[in-house]
Amino acid sequence: MLSEDEARARILDAVKTGASERVPLAAAFGRYAMEVIRAEIAVPGFDNSAMDGYALWVGEGLPAGARLSLKEGEQPAGRNRGLHVEEGEALRIFTGAPMPTGANAVVMQEDILISNGGREIHLNEGVVRGEFVRRAGSDLCVGQIVLSPGDRLTAARCGVLASQGRETIAVGRIPSVTVVTTGDELLPPGGARPGAGELYNSNGPMLAAMVRDVCGPDASLEHRHARDDASALATVLGEAVEAGRVVIVSGGVSVGEHDKVKPVLSELGVRGDFWRVRVKPGKPFYFGQHCSGASVFGLPGNPVSSFVTFLLFVAPALRIMMGATPGDSGPYGIRCHLDANATALENPGDRPHYVRGRLDAAQGVFSPTGTQQSHALFGLSQSNALLRVGAGETHAPGAPGKAFLF
Ligand code: AMP
Ligand code: MG
Protein backbone atom coordinates (compact mmCIF):
# COMPACT_ATOMS: atom_id res chain seq x y z
CA MET A 1 0.00 0.00 0.00
CA LEU A 2 1.39 3.42 -1.00
CA SER A 3 1.66 6.43 1.26
CA GLU A 4 -0.33 9.49 0.21
CA ASP A 5 2.83 11.26 -0.93
CA GLU A 6 3.97 8.29 -3.01
CA ALA A 7 0.52 7.95 -4.55
CA ARG A 8 0.31 11.65 -5.43
CA ALA A 9 3.87 11.69 -6.79
CA ARG A 10 3.08 8.75 -9.07
CA ILE A 11 -0.08 10.40 -10.34
CA LEU A 12 1.57 13.75 -10.95
CA ASP A 13 4.41 12.02 -12.73
CA ALA A 14 2.06 10.06 -14.96
CA VAL A 15 -0.41 12.74 -16.02
CA LYS A 16 0.51 15.19 -18.79
CA THR A 17 -0.21 18.84 -19.25
CA GLY A 18 -2.53 19.23 -22.24
CA ALA A 19 -1.77 21.28 -25.34
CA SER A 20 -2.00 25.02 -24.99
CA GLU A 21 -4.74 27.14 -26.52
CA ARG A 22 -5.09 30.87 -26.92
CA VAL A 23 -8.13 32.30 -25.14
CA PRO A 24 -9.54 35.80 -24.76
CA LEU A 25 -8.67 37.45 -21.48
CA ALA A 26 -12.32 37.23 -20.43
CA ALA A 27 -12.06 33.42 -20.50
CA ALA A 28 -8.64 33.17 -18.85
CA PHE A 29 -9.64 33.43 -15.19
CA GLY A 30 -8.73 30.27 -13.25
CA ARG A 31 -6.61 28.84 -16.08
CA TYR A 32 -2.81 28.40 -16.08
CA ALA A 33 -0.48 30.44 -18.30
CA MET A 34 1.50 28.48 -20.89
CA GLU A 35 3.67 31.34 -22.13
CA VAL A 36 6.10 33.86 -20.73
CA ILE A 37 4.62 37.33 -20.81
CA ARG A 38 6.97 40.29 -20.60
CA ALA A 39 5.86 43.87 -20.14
CA GLU A 40 5.75 45.67 -23.48
CA ILE A 41 4.81 48.98 -21.95
CA ALA A 42 5.88 50.56 -18.68
CA VAL A 43 3.27 50.92 -15.93
CA PRO A 44 2.58 53.67 -15.14
CA GLY A 45 3.25 54.84 -18.66
CA PHE A 46 4.01 58.42 -17.58
CA ASP A 47 4.75 60.34 -14.38
CA ASN A 48 1.40 61.16 -12.78
CA SER A 49 -0.22 62.43 -9.63
CA ALA A 50 -1.16 60.00 -6.83
CA MET A 51 -3.56 62.53 -5.27
CA ASP A 52 -6.09 65.23 -5.92
CA GLY A 53 -4.05 68.33 -5.04
CA TYR A 54 -1.50 70.73 -6.48
CA ALA A 55 1.59 70.08 -8.58
CA LEU A 56 4.63 72.20 -7.75
CA TRP A 57 8.38 72.50 -7.98
CA VAL A 58 9.83 71.98 -4.50
CA GLY A 59 13.53 71.59 -5.27
CA GLU A 60 14.61 69.14 -2.52
CA GLY A 61 11.61 70.14 -0.44
CA LEU A 62 9.52 72.99 0.95
CA PRO A 63 8.70 73.58 4.63
CA ALA A 64 5.23 73.99 6.15
CA GLY A 65 4.15 77.60 5.83
CA ALA A 66 5.51 78.12 2.31
CA ARG A 67 3.25 80.13 -0.03
CA LEU A 68 2.95 79.55 -3.77
CA SER A 69 1.06 81.40 -6.42
CA LEU A 70 -1.77 79.38 -7.92
CA LYS A 71 -1.50 79.16 -11.67
CA GLU A 72 -4.53 79.32 -13.88
CA GLY A 73 -5.73 76.11 -15.44
CA GLU A 74 -5.78 72.54 -14.21
CA GLN A 75 -4.67 69.09 -15.27
CA PRO A 76 -7.32 66.38 -14.82
CA ALA A 77 -6.74 62.66 -15.65
CA GLY A 78 -6.75 62.18 -19.39
CA ARG A 79 -5.12 64.07 -22.22
CA ASN A 80 -1.92 65.86 -21.30
CA ARG A 81 -2.66 69.58 -21.57
CA GLY A 82 1.03 70.40 -21.79
CA LEU A 83 1.01 72.68 -18.73
CA HIS A 84 4.12 73.91 -16.94
CA VAL A 85 5.01 75.24 -13.49
CA GLU A 86 7.92 77.38 -12.42
CA GLU A 87 9.50 77.60 -9.01
CA GLY A 88 7.04 79.33 -6.64
CA GLU A 89 3.97 78.21 -8.60
CA ALA A 90 1.32 75.54 -8.01
CA LEU A 91 -1.14 74.02 -10.46
CA ARG A 92 -4.39 72.23 -9.70
CA ILE A 93 -4.01 68.49 -10.50
CA PHE A 94 -6.07 65.33 -10.02
CA THR A 95 -5.32 61.66 -9.32
CA GLY A 96 -3.84 59.90 -12.36
CA ALA A 97 -3.24 63.15 -14.26
CA PRO A 98 0.10 63.58 -16.08
CA MET A 99 2.54 65.78 -14.21
CA PRO A 100 3.03 69.23 -15.72
CA THR A 101 6.59 69.93 -16.83
CA GLY A 102 8.64 71.65 -14.16
CA ALA A 103 6.74 70.04 -11.27
CA ASN A 104 8.48 67.47 -9.04
CA ALA A 105 5.94 66.94 -6.25
CA VAL A 106 2.25 67.03 -5.45
CA VAL A 107 0.74 68.36 -2.26
CA MET A 108 -2.61 66.86 -1.44
CA GLN A 109 -5.54 69.21 -1.23
CA GLU A 110 -6.18 68.37 2.44
CA ASP A 111 -2.74 69.81 3.30
CA ILE A 112 -3.16 73.35 1.94
CA LEU A 113 -5.18 76.51 2.50
CA ILE A 114 -6.22 78.71 -0.38
CA SER A 115 -5.56 82.33 0.40
CA ASN A 116 -5.35 85.73 -1.19
CA GLY A 117 -8.70 85.44 -2.98
CA GLY A 118 -7.82 82.13 -4.60
CA ARG A 119 -4.51 83.34 -6.02
CA GLU A 120 -2.21 81.59 -3.53
CA ILE A 121 -1.87 78.32 -1.70
CA HIS A 122 -0.33 77.98 1.73
CA LEU A 123 1.27 74.67 2.74
CA ASN A 124 0.08 73.26 6.09
CA GLU A 125 2.64 70.45 5.84
CA GLY A 126 6.16 70.28 4.44
CA VAL A 127 6.55 68.69 1.00
CA VAL A 128 9.57 66.71 -0.19
CA ARG A 129 10.77 66.06 -3.72
CA GLY A 130 8.83 63.30 -5.47
CA GLU A 131 5.99 63.26 -2.93
CA PHE A 132 2.76 61.81 -4.37
CA VAL A 133 4.28 61.43 -7.82
CA ARG A 134 3.88 57.99 -9.39
CA ARG A 135 6.91 57.57 -11.59
CA ALA A 136 6.72 56.00 -15.02
CA GLY A 137 7.72 52.33 -14.78
CA SER A 138 7.60 52.25 -10.98
CA ASP A 139 5.21 49.25 -11.05
CA LEU A 140 6.46 47.49 -14.20
CA CYS A 141 9.36 48.23 -16.54
CA VAL A 142 9.47 47.23 -20.19
CA GLY A 143 10.89 43.71 -20.47
CA GLN A 144 10.03 42.67 -16.94
CA ILE A 145 8.36 39.24 -16.62
CA VAL A 146 4.67 39.64 -15.86
CA LEU A 147 3.62 35.98 -15.94
CA SER A 148 5.44 32.65 -16.34
CA PRO A 149 4.20 29.26 -17.52
CA GLY A 150 2.33 27.56 -14.70
CA ASP A 151 1.10 30.79 -13.12
CA ARG A 152 -2.59 30.66 -12.35
CA LEU A 153 -4.67 33.43 -13.89
CA THR A 154 -6.05 35.08 -10.77
CA ALA A 155 -8.26 38.16 -10.99
CA ALA A 156 -5.27 40.44 -10.33
CA ARG A 157 -3.23 38.70 -13.05
CA CYS A 158 -6.11 39.13 -15.52
CA GLY A 159 -5.98 42.81 -14.52
CA VAL A 160 -2.23 43.12 -15.05
CA LEU A 161 -2.52 41.52 -18.51
CA ALA A 162 -5.24 44.02 -19.41
CA SER A 163 -2.97 46.83 -18.17
CA GLN A 164 -0.50 45.61 -20.81
CA GLY A 165 -3.16 45.83 -23.49
CA ARG A 166 -3.25 42.04 -23.95
CA GLU A 167 -6.47 40.61 -25.34
CA THR A 168 -5.50 36.93 -25.35
CA ILE A 169 -3.20 34.53 -23.54
CA ALA A 170 -2.01 30.96 -24.15
CA VAL A 171 -3.27 28.67 -21.40
CA GLY A 172 -3.39 24.92 -20.83
CA ARG A 173 -6.43 23.12 -22.21
CA ILE A 174 -9.11 22.04 -19.78
CA PRO A 175 -9.33 18.25 -19.61
CA SER A 176 -12.58 16.55 -20.62
CA VAL A 177 -13.93 14.69 -17.64
CA THR A 178 -16.44 11.89 -17.22
CA VAL A 179 -17.73 11.17 -13.74
CA VAL A 180 -19.00 7.58 -13.56
CA THR A 181 -21.02 6.64 -10.52
CA THR A 182 -21.69 2.99 -9.85
CA GLY A 183 -24.12 1.10 -7.68
CA ASP A 184 -27.42 -0.81 -7.99
CA GLU A 185 -28.72 0.92 -4.87
CA LEU A 186 -28.54 4.47 -6.24
CA LEU A 187 -31.40 6.61 -7.55
CA PRO A 188 -31.05 9.89 -9.41
CA PRO A 189 -32.10 12.91 -7.33
CA GLY A 190 -35.56 14.06 -8.41
CA GLY A 191 -36.79 10.52 -8.99
CA ALA A 192 -38.95 8.31 -6.78
CA ARG A 193 -38.37 8.26 -3.02
CA PRO A 194 -35.79 5.59 -2.14
CA GLY A 195 -37.20 2.25 -1.03
CA ALA A 196 -35.53 0.01 1.54
CA GLY A 197 -31.88 -0.41 0.65
CA GLU A 198 -31.89 2.46 -1.84
CA LEU A 199 -30.46 5.97 -1.61
CA TYR A 200 -30.00 8.95 -3.85
CA ASN A 201 -26.84 9.32 -5.88
CA SER A 202 -25.01 12.14 -4.11
CA ASN A 203 -21.49 11.51 -5.44
CA GLY A 204 -22.44 12.34 -9.03
CA PRO A 205 -23.45 15.96 -8.36
CA MET A 206 -20.78 16.38 -5.66
CA LEU A 207 -17.89 15.18 -7.86
CA ALA A 208 -19.19 17.19 -10.83
CA ALA A 209 -19.14 20.29 -8.59
CA MET A 210 -15.60 19.47 -7.47
CA VAL A 211 -14.47 19.16 -11.09
CA ARG A 212 -16.02 22.55 -11.90
CA ASP A 213 -14.36 24.04 -8.85
CA VAL A 214 -10.94 23.02 -10.21
CA CYS A 215 -11.49 23.24 -13.98
CA GLY A 216 -13.93 26.13 -14.13
CA PRO A 217 -17.42 26.45 -15.56
CA ASP A 218 -16.28 25.71 -19.14
CA ALA A 219 -15.09 22.17 -18.38
CA SER A 220 -16.40 19.52 -20.75
CA LEU A 221 -17.98 17.39 -18.06
CA GLU A 222 -20.44 14.54 -18.18
CA HIS A 223 -21.92 12.36 -15.48
CA ARG A 224 -22.97 8.81 -16.25
CA HIS A 225 -24.22 6.08 -14.00
CA ALA A 226 -23.69 2.32 -14.31
CA ARG A 227 -25.19 -0.58 -12.41
CA ASP A 228 -22.88 -3.06 -10.65
CA ASP A 229 -22.86 -5.21 -13.70
CA ALA A 230 -19.76 -5.96 -15.76
CA SER A 231 -21.36 -5.30 -19.13
CA ALA A 232 -23.05 -2.02 -18.05
CA LEU A 233 -19.75 -0.87 -16.55
CA ALA A 234 -17.81 -1.91 -19.65
CA THR A 235 -20.12 0.14 -21.88
CA VAL A 236 -20.00 3.33 -19.81
CA LEU A 237 -16.33 3.11 -18.85
CA GLY A 238 -15.30 1.91 -22.32
CA GLU A 239 -16.74 4.98 -24.06
CA ALA A 240 -15.03 7.41 -21.71
CA VAL A 241 -11.72 5.54 -21.69
CA GLU A 242 -11.53 5.15 -25.47
CA ALA A 243 -12.28 8.85 -25.92
CA GLY A 244 -9.17 9.60 -23.84
CA ARG A 245 -11.16 11.46 -21.19
CA VAL A 246 -10.30 11.80 -17.54
CA VAL A 247 -12.49 9.19 -15.88
CA ILE A 248 -13.48 9.61 -12.25
CA VAL A 249 -15.29 6.49 -11.06
CA SER A 250 -17.03 6.41 -7.73
CA GLY A 251 -17.69 3.12 -5.96
CA GLY A 252 -17.03 -0.45 -6.94
CA VAL A 253 -13.29 -0.36 -6.22
CA SER A 254 -13.30 -2.15 -2.86
CA VAL A 255 -12.91 -5.85 -2.21
CA GLY A 256 -16.54 -7.05 -2.34
CA GLU A 257 -17.93 -9.36 -5.04
CA HIS A 258 -19.97 -6.45 -6.40
CA ASP A 259 -16.88 -4.28 -6.81
CA LYS A 260 -16.33 -4.94 -10.49
CA VAL A 261 -14.69 -1.73 -11.62
CA LYS A 262 -11.07 -2.89 -11.54
CA PRO A 263 -11.54 -6.12 -13.53
CA VAL A 264 -13.64 -4.25 -16.09
CA LEU A 265 -10.98 -1.55 -16.43
CA SER A 266 -8.34 -4.19 -16.89
CA GLU A 267 -10.47 -5.85 -19.62
CA LEU A 268 -10.70 -2.46 -21.31
CA GLY A 269 -6.91 -2.26 -21.41
CA VAL A 270 -6.47 0.24 -18.61
CA ARG A 271 -3.13 -0.38 -16.92
CA GLY A 272 -3.59 -0.16 -13.16
CA ASP A 273 -0.74 1.85 -11.67
CA PHE A 274 -1.75 1.32 -8.05
CA TRP A 275 -4.65 0.40 -5.85
CA ARG A 276 -4.97 1.31 -2.17
CA VAL A 277 -3.39 4.22 -0.37
CA ARG A 278 -2.57 4.58 3.29
CA VAL A 279 -5.20 7.22 4.04
CA LYS A 280 -8.43 7.39 6.03
CA PRO A 281 -10.98 7.72 4.63
CA GLY A 282 -10.19 6.57 1.12
CA LYS A 283 -8.00 3.47 1.31
CA PRO A 284 -9.28 1.61 -1.81
CA PHE A 285 -8.33 4.50 -4.14
CA TYR A 286 -7.24 3.31 -7.61
CA PHE A 287 -5.27 4.95 -10.42
CA GLY A 288 -4.64 3.69 -13.94
CA GLN A 289 -4.00 4.87 -17.48
CA HIS A 290 -4.95 3.82 -21.00
CA CYS A 291 -3.05 4.17 -24.27
CA SER A 292 -5.82 6.54 -25.46
CA GLY A 293 -4.43 9.03 -22.94
CA ALA A 294 -7.25 8.43 -20.48
CA SER A 295 -6.39 8.67 -16.80
CA VAL A 296 -8.73 6.71 -14.56
CA PHE A 297 -9.25 7.54 -10.90
CA GLY A 298 -11.25 5.02 -8.86
CA LEU A 299 -12.72 6.63 -5.75
CA PRO A 300 -14.28 4.67 -2.91
CA GLY A 301 -18.06 5.11 -2.98
CA ASN A 302 -18.59 6.39 0.54
CA PRO A 303 -19.26 10.09 -0.02
CA VAL A 304 -16.60 11.43 2.36
CA SER A 305 -14.03 8.99 0.97
CA SER A 306 -14.81 10.19 -2.54
CA PHE A 307 -14.50 13.79 -1.43
CA VAL A 308 -11.22 13.36 0.43
CA THR A 309 -9.51 11.33 -2.29
CA PHE A 310 -10.65 13.81 -4.95
CA LEU A 311 -9.10 16.63 -2.94
CA LEU A 312 -5.85 14.77 -2.23
CA PHE A 313 -5.22 13.06 -5.58
CA VAL A 314 -7.62 14.03 -8.37
CA ALA A 315 -7.65 17.82 -7.99
CA PRO A 316 -3.82 18.10 -8.16
CA ALA A 317 -3.81 15.87 -11.26
CA LEU A 318 -6.45 18.03 -12.98
CA ARG A 319 -4.42 21.15 -12.18
CA ILE A 320 -1.28 19.61 -13.70
CA MET A 321 -3.27 18.73 -16.84
CA MET A 322 -4.39 22.37 -17.02
CA GLY A 323 -0.79 23.60 -16.81
CA ALA A 324 -0.08 24.07 -13.09
CA THR A 325 3.40 23.32 -11.78
CA PRO A 326 3.69 20.33 -9.41
CA GLY A 327 4.67 22.68 -6.60
CA ASP A 328 1.43 24.62 -6.98
CA SER A 329 -1.05 21.85 -7.66
CA GLY A 330 -2.36 21.32 -4.13
CA PRO A 331 -3.62 20.21 -1.77
CA TYR A 332 -3.05 23.48 0.04
CA GLY A 333 -2.23 23.04 3.74
CA ILE A 334 -2.46 25.79 6.34
CA ARG A 335 -0.89 25.71 9.76
CA CYS A 336 -3.43 25.91 12.53
CA HIS A 337 -4.20 24.79 16.07
CA LEU A 338 -6.86 22.40 17.25
CA ASP A 339 -9.55 24.32 19.12
CA ALA A 340 -8.55 24.53 22.80
CA ASN A 341 -12.12 23.51 23.74
CA ALA A 342 -12.21 20.45 21.46
CA THR A 343 -11.63 16.95 22.71
CA ALA A 344 -8.26 15.42 21.82
CA LEU A 345 -8.07 13.75 18.39
CA GLU A 346 -6.46 10.35 18.63
CA ASN A 347 -5.42 8.27 15.66
CA PRO A 348 -4.20 4.89 16.91
CA GLY A 349 -4.41 3.45 13.36
CA ASP A 350 -1.70 3.03 10.74
CA ARG A 351 -3.16 5.55 8.25
CA PRO A 352 -3.31 9.34 8.51
CA HIS A 353 -6.85 10.44 9.27
CA TYR A 354 -8.48 13.48 7.67
CA VAL A 355 -10.85 14.97 10.20
CA ARG A 356 -13.67 17.24 8.97
CA GLY A 357 -14.21 20.55 10.65
CA ARG A 358 -14.32 24.30 10.47
CA LEU A 359 -11.11 26.26 10.11
CA ASP A 360 -11.24 29.83 11.32
CA ALA A 361 -8.45 30.96 9.03
CA ALA A 362 -8.11 34.36 10.69
CA GLN A 363 -7.47 32.77 14.09
CA GLY A 364 -5.83 29.63 12.72
CA VAL A 365 -8.17 27.49 14.82
CA PHE A 366 -9.70 24.21 13.66
CA SER A 367 -12.87 22.77 15.29
CA PRO A 368 -14.08 19.29 14.27
CA THR A 369 -17.71 19.06 13.11
CA GLY A 370 -20.22 16.21 13.21
CA THR A 371 -19.66 12.52 13.03
CA GLN A 372 -16.41 11.51 11.33
CA GLN A 373 -17.59 8.35 9.55
CA SER A 374 -17.02 8.08 5.84
CA HIS A 375 -20.73 8.01 4.89
CA ALA A 376 -21.49 11.17 6.93
CA LEU A 377 -21.99 13.76 4.25
CA PHE A 378 -23.86 16.22 6.45
CA GLY A 379 -20.87 16.71 8.78
CA LEU A 380 -18.72 17.29 5.70
CA SER A 381 -21.22 19.82 4.38
CA GLN A 382 -20.87 21.78 7.64
CA SER A 383 -17.10 21.87 7.36
CA ASN A 384 -14.62 23.89 5.28
CA ALA A 385 -11.38 22.04 5.99
CA LEU A 386 -9.75 18.71 6.78
CA LEU A 387 -7.25 18.40 9.60
CA ARG A 388 -4.60 15.76 9.03
CA VAL A 389 -3.95 13.57 12.07
CA GLY A 390 -0.97 11.38 11.26
CA ALA A 391 -0.87 7.64 11.98
CA GLY A 392 -0.27 7.03 15.69
CA GLU A 393 -0.60 10.75 16.53
CA THR A 394 -2.73 12.43 19.15
CA HIS A 395 -3.65 16.09 18.77
CA ALA A 396 -4.31 17.52 22.21
CA PRO A 397 -6.64 20.54 22.50
CA GLY A 398 -4.69 23.59 21.29
CA ALA A 399 -1.99 21.46 19.59
CA PRO A 400 -0.51 22.66 16.27
CA GLY A 401 -1.48 20.90 13.05
CA LYS A 402 -2.08 21.31 9.36
CA ALA A 403 -5.50 21.73 7.77
CA PHE A 404 -6.56 21.68 4.13
CA LEU A 405 -9.07 24.35 3.30
CA PHE A 406 -11.62 23.65 0.54
P1 AMP B 1 -18.75 1.06 -2.74
O2 AMP B 1 -17.44 1.80 -2.76
O3 AMP B 1 -19.36 0.90 -4.09
O4 AMP B 1 -18.62 -0.23 -1.99
O5 AMP B 1 -19.76 1.95 -1.91
C6 AMP B 1 -19.51 2.23 -0.54
C7 AMP B 1 -20.70 2.96 0.05
O8 AMP B 1 -20.85 4.19 -0.62
C9 AMP B 1 -22.01 2.25 -0.05
O10 AMP B 1 -22.73 2.45 1.16
C11 AMP B 1 -22.69 2.93 -1.21
O12 AMP B 1 -24.10 2.88 -1.14
C13 AMP B 1 -22.19 4.33 -1.09
N14 AMP B 1 -22.16 4.99 -2.38
C15 AMP B 1 -21.53 4.55 -3.47
N16 AMP B 1 -21.71 5.38 -4.51
C17 AMP B 1 -22.46 6.39 -4.04
C18 AMP B 1 -23.03 7.55 -4.66
N19 AMP B 1 -22.80 7.83 -5.94
N20 AMP B 1 -23.78 8.37 -3.90
C21 AMP B 1 -23.99 8.08 -2.59
N22 AMP B 1 -23.50 7.00 -1.97
C23 AMP B 1 -22.76 6.15 -2.69
MG1 MG C 1 -20.98 -0.03 -4.82
Domain boundary among 104, 134, 164: 134
Q: What is the DSSP letter of 350?
A: S
pLDDT for 64 equals: 98
Q: Does ligand 1 come within 6 angstroms of the Cβ of 251?
A: yes
- For the chain, the domain total comes to 4
Q: Based on the fold, state whether residues 64 and 119 are members of the same structural domain.
A: yes
Asked whether residue 329 carries a pLDDT value surpassing 90, the answer given is yes
pLDDT for 370 equals: 84
Q: What is the pLDDT of residues 45-68, one digit of tens each?
A: 999 999 999 999 999 999 999 999
Q: What is the mean pLDDT of the chain?
A: 97
Q: Based on the fold, state whether residues 378 and 288 are members of the same structural domain.
A: no
Q: Based on the fold, state whether residues 258 and 356 are members of the same structural domain.
A: no
Cα 302 to averaged position of ligand 1 atoms, centre (Å) = 5
Sorted by sequence, the CB contacts under 8 Å of residue 320 that are 6+ apart come out as 12, 15, 16, 17, 326, 329
The CATH number given to whatever domain includes residue 396 is 2.40.340.10
The model carries a pTM of 0.95
pLDDT for 309 equals: 98
Which residue from 179, 184, 186, 285 has its CB within 8 A of the most atoms of ligand 1, so it is best to mutate? 186
Residues 117-136 have a mean pLDDT of 97
Cα 364 to averaged position of ligand 1 atoms, centre (Å) = 33
Q: Does ligand 1 come within 6 angstroms of the Cβ of 298?
A: no
The candidate with the shortest Cα–Cα distance to 317, out of 303, 304, 330, is: 330
Q: What is the pLDDT of residues 278-315, one digit of tens each?
A: 999 999 999 999 999 999 999 999 999 999 999 999 99
Q: Is 248 helix (H, G, I), strand (E, B) or coil?
A: strand
Q: Does ligand 1 come within 6 angstroms of the Cβ of 48?
A: no
Residue 204 alpha carbon, nearest atom of ligand 1: 19
Q: Based on the fold, state whether residues 127 and 163 are members of the same structural domain.
A: no
pLDDT for 191 equals: 81
218 — pLDDT class (breaks 50, 70, 90): confident
Q: Does ligand 1 come within 6 angstroms of the Cβ of 301?
A: yes
Q: Based on the fold, state whether residues 165 and 26 are members of the same structural domain.
A: yes
Pairing relation of β-strands 105-108 and 53-56? antiparallel
Q: Does ligand 1 come within 6 angstroms of the Cβ of 178?
A: no
The CATH number given to whatever domain includes residue 270 is 3.40.980.10
Domain range holding 322? 2-18+173-328
Q: What is the pLDDT of residues 177-205, one digit of tens each?
A: 999 999 999 999 998 999 999 999 999 99
Q: Does ligand 1 come within 6 angstroms of the Cβ of 185?
A: yes
Q: Based on the fold, state whether residues 157 and 114 are members of the same structural domain.
A: no
Distance CA 61, CA 237 (A): 75
Q: Based on the fold, state whether residues 294 and 203 are members of the same structural domain.
A: yes
The CATH number given to whatever domain includes residue 89 is 2.170.190.11
Q: Based on the fold, state whether residues 242 and 306 are members of the same structural domain.
A: yes
CB-based contact 55:49 (threshold 8 Å): yes
Q: Residue 93 phi/psi, 5° resolution? A: -145, 160
Domain boundary among 134, 162, 182: 134
Asked whether residue 316 carries a pLDDT value surpassing 90, the answer given is yes
Residues 213-241 have a mean pLDDT of 97
Q: Based on the fold, state whether residues 294 and 400 are members of the same structural domain.
A: no
pLDDT for 2 equals: 98
Domain boundary among 328, 355, 379: 328
Asked whether residue 228 carries a pLDDT value surpassing 90, the answer given is yes
Q: Based on the fold, state whether residues 34 and 61 are members of the same structural domain.
A: no
With the C-alpha atoms ordered 326, 329, 335, 339, is the resulting torsion angle positive or negative? negative
The candidate with the shortest Cα–Cα distance to 251, out of 274, 225, 232, 270, is: 225
Shortest-distance ligand to the CA of residue 376: 1
